[in-house]
Amino acid sequence: MSHKATTPVPRSAKRPELLQLEREARKETIERKGRNYRFWLFRRRLFHILTVYTLIFGLIGAIVFLWKDYILKYDWLSIDTVTLKSNGIFNAEQAFSLMGVGPGDNIFSMDAAELEQHLLKCPAIRRASVKRQISSDPTLLVDIDARIPVAWIDCPELGIRPGDARYGVLADKEGVIFPCMEQVHLPYIQGKHMPSVTLRPPSSGQLTYGISIRELEAPMQLIELLSGSVTEFLPSIVSITMPNDWSFCVRFSNDCQATFSHYGLEHQVEKLSKALEHARQTHRKISAINLIPEHNIPVIFDDAYEDIPLAEPIEE
């Protein structure tokens, strides 16, 4: 007698009438076998559930154990190399200090996004990115675009003085102010001539770091404009004060004080250069000049100035 192989019919392929009959037949079987059978079904289902949960928690425990006691303590996963891309303000040691990690820390224990946020919390940093390179030579890739200081901030009312490497405040060319970090900025600014800019104290009673201050925009533009334009007739800037909202006063290294408006700085610098050149050629020295008027520019000459003749070429 031959038997034909049969294939079980999937539950989804059965008609609703058949499914109903199966449920009723199962119910009758359970009722016929009694309470002991129902209790056995319950124990079997409970055993399956407990087995699954035991396997899941056991696997999680094994992973945690391996992670804490093996992977995070394995020496070859410690940071071996730091690739720092910077504009010369921060070095690798200072970057580590800001991120709160050390060269011996395990690279798996580091969250690159969190380290990046630690760097961005520093007002002296404009942009930063941190990436992990996990290989036989674990490497931390750090890219820091630090703010380059171009001026000291002077605010006597708040106890802020120019040149104070420990408690001073610096500003970059965008008019963003940030605290001077002695170990970071002193090696960069040492030996450089940086002018001071006097700020009026804000109504809040404290300066806000890391954001652009509108009243600093024009003075910083002037500093940037004159940074590479110092000539015999156009001296360097020593200090800038802002007596009002529509102008600012600049004191130069030749003791000349010039008043600028916030607009048309290039044209005003051109007028100043011509005025200083003319004064030098006529053996006079400008003590003060107002560059805001377009014509009939007010000029005050220094009466105590002792004339120094211009050098004449020697004809052979």
**Co-location of 206 and 108 in the same domain:** no
**Co-location of 102 and 133 in the same domain:** yes
Q: Is 61 a residue whose pLDDT tops 80? A: no
Summarised one tens digit per residue, pLDDT across range 86-144 is 888 888 888 888 888 776 676 666 788 888 999 999 999 999 998 877 765 667 788 99
d(CA 182, CA 124): 12
**Co-location of 113 and 210 in the same domain:** no
Residue-level pLDDT at 55: 84
Tokens of residue 113, six digits? 């996004």
**Which of 17-26, 176-185, 186-195 ranks highest by mean pLDDT?**
176-185
**Co-location of 106 and 132 in the same domain:** yes
Domain end, chosen from 130, 146, 162, is at 146
Tokens of residue 44, six digits? 């079997």
Mean pLDDT of 18-32: 66
Answer whether residue 190 is part of any domain.
yes
Strand partners, 127: 145
Q: Which of 70-79, 149-158, 167-176 has the lowest mean pLDDT?
A: 70-79
**Co-location of 273 and 160 in the same domain:** yes
Residue of higher predicted confidence among 21 and 2? 21
Asked if residue 214 lies in contact with residue 231, where contact means CB atoms within 8 angstroms, the answer is: no
**Co-location of 88 and 203 in the same domain:** no
**Co-location of 220 and 286 in the same domain:** yes
Answer whether residue 34 is part of any domain.
no
pLDDT tier at 193 (50, 70, 90 boundaries)?
Answer: confident
**Co-location of 210 and 289 in the same domain:** yes
Summarised one tens digit per residue, pLDDT across range 227-243 is 876 666 788 899 999 99
Q: How many CB atoms neighbour CB 302 within 10 A? A: 15
pLDDT tier at 79 (50, 70, 90 boundaries)?
Answer: low
d(CA 240, CA 151): 10
Summarised one tens digit per residue, pLDDT across range 247-297 is 999 999 889 999 999 999 999 999 999 999 899 888 889 999 999 998 889
Mean pLDDT of 164-171: 91
Q: Any idea what the CATH number is for the domain that residue 136 is in?
A: 3.10.20.310
pLDDT tier at 34 (50, 70, 90 boundaries)?
Answer: low
**Co-location of 123 and 208 in the same domain:** no
Residues contacting 258, CB < 8 A, separation 6+ = 249, 250, 252, 272, 288, 289, 290, 291
Strand partners, 151: 171
- Name the residue type at position 23: R
- Total-model pTM: 0.69
Selection from 129, 72, 137 nearest residue 95 by Cα: 129
Mean pLDDT of 71-90: 65
d(CA 69, CA 162): 52
- Name the residue type at position 120: L
Q: Is 76 a residue whose pLDDT tops 50? A: no
How many distinct structural domains can be found in the chain? 2
Domain end, chosen from 93, 126, 146, is at 146
Residue-level pLDDT at 121: 92
**Which of 15-24, 59-68, 107-116, 270-279 ranks highest by mean pLDDT?**
270-279
Domain range holding 264? 151-301
Tokens of residue 90, six digits? 């921060």
**Co-location of 193 and 135 in the same domain:** no
How does the average pLDDT of the chain come out, rounded? 81
Q: Any idea what the CATH number is for the domain that residue 155 is in?
A: 3.40.50
Asked if residue 152 lies in contact with residue 194, where contact means CB atoms within 8 angstroms, the answer is: yes
Domain end, chosen from 113, 146, 179, is at 146
Residue-level pLDDT at 37: 62
| Segment holding 290, helix H or strand E | strand 286-290
**Co-location of 155 and 296 in the same domain:** yes
